[in-house]
A and B are shown apart, each in its own frame.
Chain A
Amino acid sequence: MTGPQTTPTPVGDRPAADAGGVSVEVHDVTVAYHRRPVLWDIDVSLPAGKLVAIVGPNGAGKSTLLKAALGLVPLASGRIEIFGRPLRQARTLIGYVPQRETVDWDFPIDALGVVMMGRYGRLGWVRRPGAADRAAALEALRKVGMQDYASRQISQLSGGQQQRVFLARALAQDAMLYFMDEPFAGVDAATERAIVDVLRALRSAGRTVVAVHHDLQTVPEYFDHVALLNMRLVAAGPVAETFTRANLQKTYGGRLTILDEATDAVRRQGL
C-alpha cells in the first residue's frame, strides 16, 4: 500500500504512462452470469494514456467487461492484467465510476464524504483518512465544479451533480487507469462538458480512461480508441481506423443466433 498522496504525479511503483504502453490486457476471457455466458473469449489490449470507449448494443457485455477487469465478477476462463500485473497488485492504480442507479442515494452521507471514499482503498484496513485525504477530496470536487456542494446530502443533488460527485470520487482515487460505466448517461449538457474536460485533463496527465459509452455520435469527438463489443470482440483500435460503418454494422447487426443457442444449451444443461 502506498501512503496517501496529494500530488497527482505518478511516483514510486506506479508505472510510467508512456503512450505506447498497454493499460489493460485481456486474455481469452469468458464470463458467465448464472451459468449463462455473456462474454465469449475476449482477447484485447487497450493502450495506456488514451481515452478508450467500449461500444456495443444492449446486453453486449460492456459493463460486464468492466466488472471483470475490476474483479467484481468471476472469470469463467482467461485472465486480465492491469499494466502488466495481476489485478491484486494493481488495485490502487484503478479508479471506478459505477452506474448511478447502483447506489442507495438515501445513505446518510454528504458529497465530500462520498469523494473521501475514493481515498479508502489506499489507506488499507483500520487507518482513518487524514487532513491530506480531505484536501485531496476537496480538490477533486473543485475539479468537477462541485466545491460549493461539499456538504450537501447526496440525495439532494441533481442527476448530473451526482455523476460529477462520482467522477470526483474517482479523481480522489488518484488512479492511473479509470473504469467508467456510462459516465454520460442521463446527465445535463453542463455536466457532459465538465466530464469531457476532466477526461481530457486526465489524458494530458498521462492517465487512461476506459468508459462504456452509449452515444455513437460523440465517440469520435470524445475518445481516441474504441473497442466494439457484442458478446465477443468485434474490433478494437484507434477510432479513426476502427470506428467504421462496416465494423458498426457487424457490432449492431443482429446477434449471433447460434452463439445464443449455445448459450442456452449451456444454461439448460445446468452446468
Chain B
Amino acid sequence: MDQFLRLLTLQDTNTRVVMLGTTVLGIASAVVGCFAVLRKRSLVGDAVAHAALPGICLAYLVVGERHFAALLLGAMLAGVTAAAFVAAVRALTRVKEDAAIGMAIGGFFGLGIVLSRLIQGQPGGDRAGLDSFIFGKAASMVSGDARLILAVALAALAAVALLYKELKLLCFDRDFAAGQGWPTLALDLALMALVCLCTVVGLPAVGVVLMVALLVIPAVAARFWTSTLSTMLVLAAIFGGASGLVGTALSATVPVPAGALSRGWPTGPLIVLVAAGIFGVSLLCAPRRGLLADLWRRAALRRRVALQNLLRDAHEWLEHAGSFDAPWRAQTVSRSGRAAPRLLARLAAQGLIAPAAGGFVLTKDGRLAAARVVRSHRLWELYLIEQADIAADHVDRDADQIEHILPQAVIAELEDRLVAQGRLPAPAGAHAVPESPHPIGAAAPMRGRTLGLLGGLMLGASALLSAPEPAGAAPHAAAQADPAAQAGSAVAAPSATPASAAEPTAEPAAEPGRRSHTRVWFTVGDYQVRDDDLWTAATAAVCSVACGLIGCFLVLRRMSLLGDAISHAILPGLALAFMLTHSRDPLPMLAGAMTVGVLTAVLSAGLNRWGKVPEDASMGVVFTTLFALGVVLVSLAARDVDLDPGCVLYGLIEFTPLDTVAVGPVHVPRALAWLALTLAMNTALIVLFYKELTIVCFDPALATAMGISATLVHYGLMTTVAITSVASFEAVGSILVIAMLVAPGATAHLLTDSLGRMLCWAAAIAAGCALAGYALAVWIDTSVAGMIATLSLAVFVLVALGAPRHGVIASRLRSRPLAAPAQQ
C-alpha cells in the first residue's frame, strides 16, 4: 500500500518517468479520443492499434534490434496503412466500413503474430521487447522510452490545442465545414494521424489489443458529466490521466499470483479496468445524464403528478360540492388508492391541506396550488379541443398527462390565445380557474388510467430498452453443448503448451519424437506430411468455414464489429466458468461464454439507447472492458492451471492433435470434433432459417411487418456467433477470429450477386485460405492462425482489386468508355 502511494505520488525515482509517461499518455489519448468518438471513428482506432503490431515487427526485422523510436515509427506507418485501407475499402468497394474495420483488425493482427513468431525463431530474437507491446508492460519501459512517449503525447496535445476550432467544426458538421472552405479531408486525415500517434505511443503501456479503450472510455465517461466540448475534453483528460497513473501503479504493486505470469501483471488490462470503473461511476452517478439521476427524476415527476392529481381531484370535488371550505376524504374524491395516506401526509407536510373533522380541508396555499393545477389542466383541454380538433371525450386523459410539465409561460400563452379568440372569458385573476370543457363527473373514471400519454411513453421506452432474451439460445445450447470442452482444454492447456509468444516456438515440426510414430502420407520437398498435419489442416479448414458461413450474415447485416466485440468478450465468460466450476465441464463454459456474448450485444445496444453513447463507442467500451477483465481473470486462473495468455491471442491450433476423442475407430482431435459440430449446426441453421436470415438482413422493417421478429433473428445470429467464437477459441484465439468471420463473406460479396453463391464462395475462400495458410505457416515456420488471418486479408485485397464485376479495376475500366465521348 505504501509502495502504491509512493508510486502514485511520483515519489519513487525509479518509476517517476514511467508513471509520468503513462499519465500524460492517458491525457493525450483521452483528448484525441474525444474527437474520434464525436467523429464516430472510435473503432478505426481499434484497427489502427491492432495494425501497429506488424509495423513494430517489421521495424524490428529491418533495424535488427529493439530500437524504441524505430519500432514506434514502424507502428505508425502500419497504423496509417490500416486507416487508409479502411477508408479505401469504404470509398472504392461495395463492402461496408464495419467489415473493412473487422478485416483490418484481424488481418493486420494476424500478420503481426506471423512476424513475431518469425522473430522469435531468429537467433537472439529479443522477444520480450515485442511481447510487451501486446498487453502492455510499463515496467519494461526504460526512462528514455518514457521520455519519448511524454514528448509525443505533449505534441499531440499541442496539436489539438492549435486545431481545436477546426476539429470541433469537423466533428459537428463536416459538410458545413467543407462549405466554409475548410480542407475537411486534410482535417480528417490529421485527426486520424493524431489517433495513430496516440495509439502508437500508448502501445508500450497499454498494448495493441486494448489501446482503443484508452481513446474511447474516458471520452464516453466525460460525456456523461457535461454537454460542452471544452469541459468534456478537460474531464476526459483527467479520467484518462488517472486511469494511466492508477493502472500503472496497480500493475507494479499488486502481488502476482504464485505460478502465474512470472513477469508481473500486464499494464494494459489494469489501466482499462480503472478507466472502466470511472466509466461505471459516470454512467450511474452523473448528475444529468446518469442512470440514477434519470431514475430519480422520473420518480420525482411521478410523485408530483400523483400529488397534483389528488389536489385537482379535491378541487373538482369541492367545486361540485359548492364550497371550497368543506372537508373531504381521499377515497371519496379520487382513486389514488393505497398511495393516498402517503400523498395526504406529504400534502399536509407541505402545508397544502390540514386535517379537519370528516377528513381534510384545503389550506389557503392548498387552494391556490389546486387552482393552479386545475387551471393548467383546463386550459390545455380547451386548447386540445379548440385548436387541435381533438374530441372532447378524449381530451381529459391527454391533458392529464401534459399539464404537470407544461411550463407556466406556455400556460399563460395558452390563456392569452384562448381569450384573444373569444374562447374564454377574460380571467378574473391570476389564479382564476376556467370552466371544465367537459362534464367532470363523466370524465373522472378516465383519470385512473395509467396508460395515458406519459405512461405510454415510458412503457414505449422500456419496451425499446428491454431487449428480448435470445430465444434461439436454448436449442443451440442443447445441440451444441460441447464445443466449450475444447475451450476448456485451451484454458487448461496441455502440458506441451507453447507458452506465450515469449517462449521459443514449439511447432509440431520441432518435436520429431512425437511425430515419428505417425504415418507419413506424402512429402513436400523434404517435409513429411503426417497425420498431425492433416488433422491440424482439417481443424483450420473446418474452423474457417464455420466462421466464414455465419460471417456472411454479419457482413450483410453490417454487424461485423458486434461480431468482433462478441468474440473478444467471451473471454471472461470462459474464464469465470472455469474458475467457478474448477473444471472443464463443457456446459458451464459454453453457458458462460454465451451469456457474456449476448450480454455484449445487449449492453452495447443499451448504452447506445440509455446513455446516448454512439454505437461504435458503446461497443468499444463494452468489449474492451470485458476483454480486459478476461485477461486479468485468465492471469488469475493461471495459478490453478498451466495457462497461456498467448492462446487467447492466436489459439493453439498446432497442438489440437494432442487432445483427441475417439469417434468410432478414429482418434479425432477434440477441437476438430467440436468445430465439425459447430459447422454442422451453422449449416443447418442457415439452411433452415435461410428465408428469415435473408429478409431480416435485407429489410428488417418488412420482416417485422410480416411477423418475422427481426429482434429474435438478430439475437439468434449473435448467439450463433458467440457459439462459433467459443468453438474457434482453441484453434485461433479470440482476436484473429474476426478475420475468419468477416473476410470470406466480404470477399465473396465482391464476387457474386446471389446470396446462395455468396455463401458457397465464402466457404470455398475460407477453406482455401485455411489450407494454404497452414501450408505456408509450416513452410516458413510461423503461427498457423496468424497466417490464415493474413491470407484472408490478402485474398480480400486481391479480389477487391481484381473482381470481374465489382473490383476496383473493373469499375475503373467500365467508367472510362462512358467518360470518353463526353470529352470529344
Listed in ascending order, the chain A residues whose CB lies under 8 Å from chain B are 28, 30, 32, 35, 37, 40-41, 43, 67, 70-72, 74-77, 88, 91-92, 94, 96, 98, 102-104, 106-110, 113-114, 117, 120-121, 123, 125-129, 153, 155, 169, 173, 232-234, 256, 258-259, 261-262, 265-266, 269-271
Q: Given the complex of chains A and B, what is the CA–CA distance between A266 and B461 in angstroms?
A: 13
Tell whether A110 pairs with B94 under 8 Å between CB atoms, given A72-B705, A128-B691, A271-B454. no
CB within 8 Å of A: which B418-466 residues:
451-461, 463-464
Give A146 to B368 CA distance when docked, in angstroms. Answer: 71
Kindly provide the distance from the CB of A108 to the nearest chain B CB, expressed in whole angstroms. 5
Pick from A92, A104, A265: contact of B402, CB under 8 Å? A265
Whether A262 contacts B452 by the Cβ 8 Å rule is: no
Extra A-B contacts (17), CB below 8 Å, given A41-B388, A96-B702: A35-B461, A41-B384, A74-B464, A102-B699, A102-B701, A108-B752, A108-B758, A110-B754, A125-B692, A126-B688, A127-B691, A256-B387, A258-B417, A266-B453, A266-B457, A269-B297, A269-B301
A82 CA / B467 CA spacing, docked (Å): 27
| B94 contacts A106, C-beta separation under 8 Å | yes
Asked whether A266 and B405 contact (CB < 8 A) given A108-B749, A258-B413, the answer is yes
Question: Which residue of the partner chain B has the closest CB to A90?
Answer: B707
Q: How far is the CA of A245 from the CA of B123 in the complex (A)?
A: 89
Q: Is the CB–CB distance between B460 and A74 below 8 Å?
A: yes
Main secondary structure of the interface of B (DSSP, over half): helix
Q: Which residues of B contact A102 (CB under 8 A)?
A: 699, 701
- Given contacts A74-B464, A258-B413, A271-B298, are A265 and B405 in contact (CB under 8 A)? yes
Chain A residues with CB under 8 A of B487:
none
Pick the 10 closest A-B CB pairs, nearest first. A121-B706, A76-B456, A153-B753, A77-B456, A91-B707, A70-B705, A74-B460, A106-B94, A96-B705, A269-B405
Q: Which residues, 695 to 714 on B, are CB-close (under 8 Å) to A?
A: 695, 697-699, 701-708
Q: Nearest Cβ in chain A — how far from B304, in angstroms?
A: 10
A103, B457: Cβ atoms closer than 8 Å:
no
* Pairs A–B under 8 Å by Cβ, sample size 17: A30-B456, A35-B461, A41-B384, A41-B394, A77-B455, A91-B705, A92-B706, A96-B701, A102-B701, A103-B698, A103-B699, A104-B556, A117-B698, A125-B708, A258-B387, A258-B410, A258-B413
- B458 contacts A98, C-beta separation under 8 Å: no
Q: Is the CB of A271 within 8 A of B405?
A: yes
**A77 close to B394 (CB less than 8 A):** no
The complex places the Cα of A50 from the Cα of B753 at a distance, in Å, of 38
A interface footprint on B365-396 (CB within 8 Å = 1, 0 otherwise)? 00000000000000010011001111100100
Give how many B residues have a beta carbon under 8 Å from the other chain's beta carbons.
64
Contact present for B691 and A72 (CB under 8 Å)? no
Within 8 Å by CB of B690, from A70, A98, A128, A169, lies: A128
Q: Which residues of A contact B301 (CB under 8 A)?
A: 269, 271
Contacts A233-B389, A270-B294 given; does A74 touch B463 at CB 8 Å = yes
A117-B698, A265-B407, A266-B402 given; A108·B707 CB < 8 A: no
Point out the residues of chain B lying under 8 angstroms from A153, CB to CB. 753
Quick one: closest B residue to A127, CB to CB? Answer: B691
Please give, as numbers and ranges, the residues of chain A lying within 8 Å of B387 by CB-CB distance: 256, 258-259
- A181-B726 Cα distance, complex, nearest whole Å: 43
CB distance from B426 to the nearest CB of A (A): 19
- A107 with B698, Cβ < 8 A, contacts A76-B457, A76-B460, A262-B402 known: yes
Assembly CA distance A159 to B188 (angstroms): 32
- B356 contacts chain A at the CB level, 8 A cutoff: no
Known contacts: A35-B461, A126-B688. The answer to whether A117 contacts B702 by CB under 8 A is: yes
Q: In the complex, A155 Cα to B663 Cα: how many Å?
A: 48
Residues of B within 8 A of A125 (CB): 689, 692, 708
Find chain B residues with CB under 8 A from A72 CB. Answer: 701, 704-705
How many angstroms from the CA of A72 to the CA of B699 in the assembled complex?
12
For the complex, what is the distance from the CA of A108 to the CA of B689, rounded to whole Å?
A: 17
Chain A residue with minimal CB distance to B454? Answer: A271
- The interface residues of chain A lying within 8 Å CB-to-CB of B459 are 74, 76
Main secondary structure of the interface of A (DSSP, over half): mixed
Contact of A109 among B410, B689, B692, B755 (CB under 8 A): B755
Q: Once the chains bind, are A32 and B460 in contact (CB under 8 Å)?
A: yes
Q: Does B534 contact A (CB under 8 A)?
A: no
Q: Is the Cβ of A41 less than 8 Å from the Cβ of B463?
A: no
CB distance from A86 to the nearest CB of B (A): 12
Q: Which residues of B contact A96 (CB under 8 A)?
A: 701-702, 705-706
The residue of chain B having its C-beta at the shortest distance from the C-beta of A268 within the complex is B405
Q: Knowing A109-B694, A269-B405 touch, does A77 contact B705 (C-beta < 8 A)?
A: no
| Chain A residues with CB below 8 A from B417, complex form | 258
Q: Please indicate the chain B residues that have their CB under 8 angstroms from the CB of A70 in the complex.
A: 701, 704-705
Q: Which residues of A contact B753 (CB under 8 A)?
A: 108-110, 153
Q: Is B658 on the interface with A (CB-CB < 8 A)?
A: no
Q: A75, A259, A262: which contacts B460 (Cβ < 8 A)?
A: A75
The digit string for B748-766, where 1 denotes a CB below 8 A from any CB of A, is 0100111101100000000
- Tally A-B pairs: CB < 8 A: 165
Q: Are A30 and B453 in contact (CB under 8 A)?
A: yes
How far does the Cβ of B470 sit from chain A's closest Cβ, in whole Å? 16
Contact of A35 among B297, B457, B707, B708 (CB under 8 A): B457
Instruction: For the complex, give the distance between the alpha carbons of A26 and B690 in Å.
Output: 35
Query: B453 near A77 (CB under 8 angstroms)?
Result: yes
| Docked CA distance A234–B701 (Å) | 28
Cβ-defined partner of B390 (8 Å) among A40, A104, A262: A40
Contacts of A103 in B (CB 8 A): 698-699
B406 within 8 A of partner (CB): yes
B10 to chain A minimum Cβ distance, whole angstroms, is 42
Q: Please, how many angstroms separate the alpha-carbon atoms of A35 and B398 in the complex? A: 15
A262 to B336, CA, bound (A): 26
Q: Using Cβ atoms and an 8 Å threshold, which residues of chain A touch B452?
A: 77
Bound-state CA distance A169–B413 (Å) is 50
Bound-state CA distance A107–B94 (Å) is: 9
Does B410 lie within 8 Å of A120, measured CB to CB? Answer: no
- Per the bound structure, the CA–CA distance linking A117 and B697 in Å amounts to 12
Does any Cβ of A come within 8 Å of B414's Cβ? yes
Measured CB to CB, the closest approach of chain A to B375, in angstroms, equals 15
Q: Are A270 and B297 in contact (CB under 8 A)?
A: yes
Least Cβ–Cβ distance between A235 and chain B, in angstroms: 9
Q: How far is the CA of A153 from the CA of B461 in the complex (A)?
A: 39
Q: Which residues in window 750-793 of B have CB below 8 A to A?
A: 752-755, 757-758
Contact between A107 and B556, CB atoms less than 8 A apart? yes
* Complexed CA–CA distance, A6 and B460 (Å): 39
> Which positions 793-820 of chain B face chain A at CB distance < 8 Å?
none
CB distance from B712 to the nearest CB of A (A): 10
Return the contact of A41 from the options B398, B454, B695, B749 (Cβ within 8 A).
B398
In angstroms, Cα B703 to Cα A80, docked, is 19
**Do residues A259 and B388 form an inter-chain contact, with CB atoms below 8 A?**
yes
B-chain residues with CB within 8 Å of residue A106 when the two chains form the complex: 94, 749
| Cβ–Cβ < 8 Å partners of B460 in chain A | 32, 74-76
Name the residue on A nearest B702 (C-beta): A96
In the assembled complex, which residues on chain B have CB atoms less than 8 Å from the CB atom of A109?
Answer: 694, 698, 753-755
> Considering residues B301, B406, B703, which has the most beta carbons from chain A within 10 angstroms of its beta carbon?
B406
Bound form: Cα–Cα A266–B23 in Å: 43
Q: Which residues of B contact A108 (CB under 8 A)?
A: 556, 749, 752-755, 757-758
**Chain B residues, CB < 8 A from A173:** 706
Whether A258 contacts B456 by the Cβ 8 Å rule is: no
Contacts of A76 in B (CB 8 A): 453, 456-457, 459-460
- Alpha-carbon gap, A9 to B390, bound state (A): 39
Contacts of B388 in A (CB 8 A): 40-41, 232, 256, 259
Closest to A96 in B: B705
Chain A, Cβ-Cβ closest to B710: A72
Interface centre among B388, B391, B417, B451 (most CB of A within 10 A): B388
Complexed CA–CA distance, A102 and B397 (Å): 36
Q: How far is the CA of A261 from the CA of B94 in the complex (A)?
A: 43
Q: Which residues of B contact A114 (CB under 8 A)?
A: 698
Complex contacts, A258 vs chain B, CB 8 Å: 383, 387, 410, 413-414, 417
